[in-house]
Every structure is written in C-alpha cells, then in structure tokens.
Amino acid sequence: DTVLTQSPALAVSPGERVTISCKASESVSTRMHWYQQKPGQQPKLLIYKASNLASGVPARFSGSGSGTDFTLTIDPVEADDTATYFCQQSWNGPRTFGGGTKLELK
C-alpha cells in the first residue's frame, strides 16, 4: 500500500502562512486530496486532485505538488483553522490516508 507521511504537529500565529507537507512512498500522480477535521466532526474536503479548491472552501487554502511531494498552504491562517489536516491518495491500490498534521495556533 502507498504510505503517506505527514509531520505530526505545527504551531503558527494567526495571520501567518503555513505549509503542511505530505510525502508519498511512491508516485500518486496528482491524485492527492486534503481534508480538515475538527474535534468531534467528520472530515471536510478542502483540496481535490492536488490543487483544486473544493466548493465553499476559502481561497486562503491552496494545494500543490505531483508525484510524491505535496503541500497544503493556508495563507493567512485564522483562529478557526485549528484542526487536524489529512492527505489521501487515490492513485495506487487501496486508498490510503496520511497520519494527519495537527495545526495549533499560538
């Protein structure tokens, strides 16, 4: 299975720019998707196919990358962005998720 590796946690101040990375163990082309999950809630799709903004998602969120290296950028970060962010691939075999990056605001 394709393993997706994310940093466990990040802490940033409101108004700053933050990048969350996701590295795949093998190429996933551009079939990488990003989700935001707040405590007690279901995940919410932010970005699909690496760089496409999902409906209703603020333009502060953007995605980039292809192959094995992907990035989710939030610029500027707001207090409401405190959450865990997951990447997910749909290119190889069973769909897999990254372990999640917990974003905390200072």
Partner 1 sequence: EVQLVESGGGLVQPGRSLKLSCAASGFTFSNYGMHWIRQAPTKGLEWVASISPSGGSTYYRDSVKGRFTISRDNAKSTLYLQMDSLRSEDTATYYCATDTYGGYTYWGQGVMVTVSS
- Cα separation of 69 and 29, whole Å? 10
Question: Is 85 a binder of partner 1 (CB under 8 A)?
Answer: no
The one among 35, 61, 70, 85 contacting partner 1 by CB under 8 A: 35
- Cα separation of 26 and 69, whole Å? 10
Question: Is 2 a binder of partner 1 (CB under 8 A)?
Answer: no
- Cα separation of 48 and 32, whole Å? 7
The one among 61, 85, 88, 103 contacting partner 1 by CB under 8 A: 88
* Residue closer to partner 1 (CB basis): 48 or 77: 48
